[in-house]
């Protein structure tokens, strides 16, 4: 995502970004989703090592955080733990990322690795206040946003999360109802910021039209192959921070000739 991190990856460096994709909407269909499911199967079979993470000090490249509307800040770089199996794989990835300077760790109840994310943060030596934790809510799980967030917090071993994002359910009426229920998280002090994961222009527009609270943060698959200019323009007007999932197309486009040329010019690999 915009914060740029990736989770545990297969030993082959060329497959690293391909194997770790942001979580698409659980009910999604089509080639984009099928490609990610295939990558998921590949990642489960691959030999996983934490050394697959970028080996550079993130802090040296992270001049400032991004200031959010109505206060607070989010680190520019972050680690997504999607496709990172629970257990040692997740703990190793998060520990390695934190040691390299990452200060935003992104997980979800659907990833089944929140306990390991929390354990790695607690054992890292980095104070809780210095780590921005994002997790997510899936309406189809049956729990209310407040109860689901409390369950995530318990698994993470924290008293609150920095960002709690919902996967928008299908149907505008239901989506707006769930979004309205999400507002109780900030009021209860469970989440500093609430927002949407895999948000679309139509969903943000629907929230504005319904005169409901505007999200602080949304995550969307913004990249050179899917610039989403209308969504970005609307969010800029509203003061919504857009966290860019898969800034290079989720790794599926790393063999693109333009991407390869830029990488070679920098003396790097895509």
Are the CB atoms for 16 and 10 separated by under 8 Å? yes
Please give the helix or strand (H or E) that residue 98 lies within, else none.
helix 88-99
pLDDT at 250: 67
CA-nearest of 216, 267, 226 to 246 is 226
pLDDT band at 209 (very low <50, low <70, confident <90, very high): very high
Choice among 45-49, 53-57, 59-63, 174-178 with the minimum mean pLDDT: 45-49
More confident residue, 222 or 201: 201
> What is the architecture of the domain spanning 9-264?
Alpha-Beta Barrel (3.20)
Choice among 2-16, 25-39, 49-63, 233-247 with the minimum mean pLDDT: 2-16
pLDDT band at 252 (very low <50, low <70, confident <90, very high): low
pLDDT at 11: 30
pLDDT band at 46 (very low <50, low <70, confident <90, very high): very low
CA 187 – CA 193 distance, rounded (Å): 10
For the segment 124-143, what is each residue's pLDDT rounded down to a tens digit? Answer: 999 999 999 999 999 998 89
pLDDT at 81: 94
Residue-range domain boundaries for the chain: 9-264
CA 33 – CA 14 distance, rounded (Å): 21
Average pLDDT, the chain: 80
More confident residue, 176 or 254: 176
List 165's β-bridge partners, or say none. Answer: 136, 195
**Residue 15 to residues 21, 59, 100, 163, 229, Cα–Cα distance (Å):** 11, 25, 21, 29, 29
CA-nearest of 61, 95, 99 to 77 is 61
Which 8-state DSSP code applies to residue 215? P
pLDDT at 251: 66
For the segment 170-208, what is each residue's pLDDT rounded down to a tens digit? Answer: 999 999 999 999 999 998 999 999 999 999 999 999 999
CA-nearest of 69, 133, 140 to 103 is 133
pLDDT at 22: 35
pLDDT at 248: 67
Whether the CA torsion 183, 184, 188, 189 is positive or negative: it is negative
């Amino acid at each position: 995502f915009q914060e740029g991190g990736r989770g545990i990856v297969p030993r082959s460096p060329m497959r690293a970004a391909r194997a770790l994709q942001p979580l698409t909407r659980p009910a999604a269909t089509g080639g984009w989703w099928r490609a990610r499911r295939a990558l998921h199967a590949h990642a489960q079979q691959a030999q996983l090592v934490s050394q697959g993470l970028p080996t550079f000090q993130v802090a040296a490249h992270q001049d400032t955080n991004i200031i959010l509307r109505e206060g607070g800040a989010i680190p520019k770089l972050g680690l997504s733990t999607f496709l990172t199996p629970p257990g040692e794989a997740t703990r190793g990835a998060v520990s390695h990322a934190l040691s390299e300077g990452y200060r935003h760790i992104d997980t979800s109840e659907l990833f089944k690795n929140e306990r390991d994310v929390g354990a790695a943060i607690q054992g890292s030596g980095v104070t809780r206040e210095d780590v921005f934790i994002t997790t997510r809510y899936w309406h189809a799980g049956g729990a209310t946003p407040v109860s689901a967030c409390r369950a995530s917090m318990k698994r993470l071993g924290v008293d609150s999360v920095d960002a709690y994002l919902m996967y928008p359910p299908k149907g505008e009426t239901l989506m707006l109802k769930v979004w309205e229920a999400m507002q109780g998280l900030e009021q209860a002090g469970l989440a500093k910021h609430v927002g949407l994961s895999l948000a679309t222009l139509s969903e943000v527009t629907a929230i504005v039209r319904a005169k409901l609270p505007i999200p602080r943060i949304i995550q969307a698959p913004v990249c050179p192959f899917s610039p989403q200019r209308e969504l970005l323009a609307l969010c800029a007007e509203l003061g919504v921070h857009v966290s860019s999932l898969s800034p290079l197309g989720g790794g599926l486009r790393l063999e693109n000739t333009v991407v390869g040329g830029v990488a070679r010019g920098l003396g790097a690999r895509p």
